[in-house]
Amino acid sequence: MTIIDSLGMLIARKWIAGENLEHALREAESYNSNKENVIMNYLGEDLRSRRAVEQNKEEILKLLESMHKRKIKGSIAVKPTQTGIAVSNRYFLKNYSEILEKASGYKITVWLDMEQYRYVDATINAYLKHCKRYRNTGICIQAKLKRSFGDVKRIAKQNGRVRLVKGAYKYPSTIAFGEKVEVYRNYLMCMDYLFAHSKDFMIATHDESIIKIAMEKERENNKRVLFGMLKGIRPSLASKLAWSGENMNIYMPYGEEWMKYSLRRLSEWEHAKIIIRSIIRD
């Protein structure tokens, strides 16, 4: 490892649970003992060879087995490009089914992450194709995209489970909202729809004003929803919500491929500032 790699890993440790499964499981146990559930994610994306996808799938299947054995409270998240979507859609569907089959035996939920725009249709189609047979699956929707309100409606109408986020990828203004306030508004519109029409969904954000509105809606609607945050971003708020009785889920990536994920986190300046502040303080 070079000095740059070591420095990078030191920073990345704020939002990565370690480079191997054992590190990740120990961290998951520690979250669980703090009343927080986990969303475990083996890092891998943009895979273009079957060999790499197979290796990722093996690790994901091992992860499911280990979570079951260690009685980890939580779910897993997989990326479509980690499970073969860039190789072929058929291959992706086969791998997604295989993971769902194993996870359903353990009663573990499998979330499909949402990646670049070019995969949105295929990801939603795969999800809708499987969500009737496998109740243990959910899908991420990015409020940043103009199409997302329609997608949320379509998924909710089919009793699907949405994990609502703002969206971490950069898009042109033809397909996405460019202003933060527009993304915020669309997030609230999707969230309102979910409160009215969905039994089970996740509000995945660190935005305190959205969380506050969601908690008010929980009271008004007499309904409990899931909350989600990324490891290392606003940990004290996550912990406070968990101890106040909210269902908090910490997205916890692990594995050797931490660089791309870390760059995406650092590209969100608000998060970068928090992380830099916490490194200086630690």
Contacts with ligand FAD, residue ranges (CB under 6 A): 39, 113-114, 140, 142, 165-169, 204-208, 228-230, 234, 251, 268, 270, 274
Q: C-beta of 69: minimal distance to ligand FAD in Å?
A: 24
- Measured from the CB atom, the residue of 69 and 173 that comes closer to ligand FAD is 173
Length of the chain: 282
Contact 83, 56 (CB under 8 A): yes
Shorter beta-carbon distance to ligand FAD: residue 50 or 149: 149
- Which CB sits closer to ligand FAD, 18 or 138? 138
In the complex with ligand FAD, the residue whose CB is nearer, 119 or 195, is 119
From the CB of 41, what's the least distance to ligand FAD, in Å?
9
Taking the least distance from each CB to ligand FAD, the nearer of 51 and 281 is 281
Q: How far is the CB of 42 from ligand FAD (least distance, A)?
A: 14
Residue 274, judged by CB atoms within 10 A of its CB (0-12, 13-18, 19+), counts as middle
CB 165, min distance to ligand FAD, A: 3
Smallest distance, Å, CB 164 to ligand FAD? Answer: 9
The residue sitting closest to ligand FAD, measured at its beta carbon, is 228
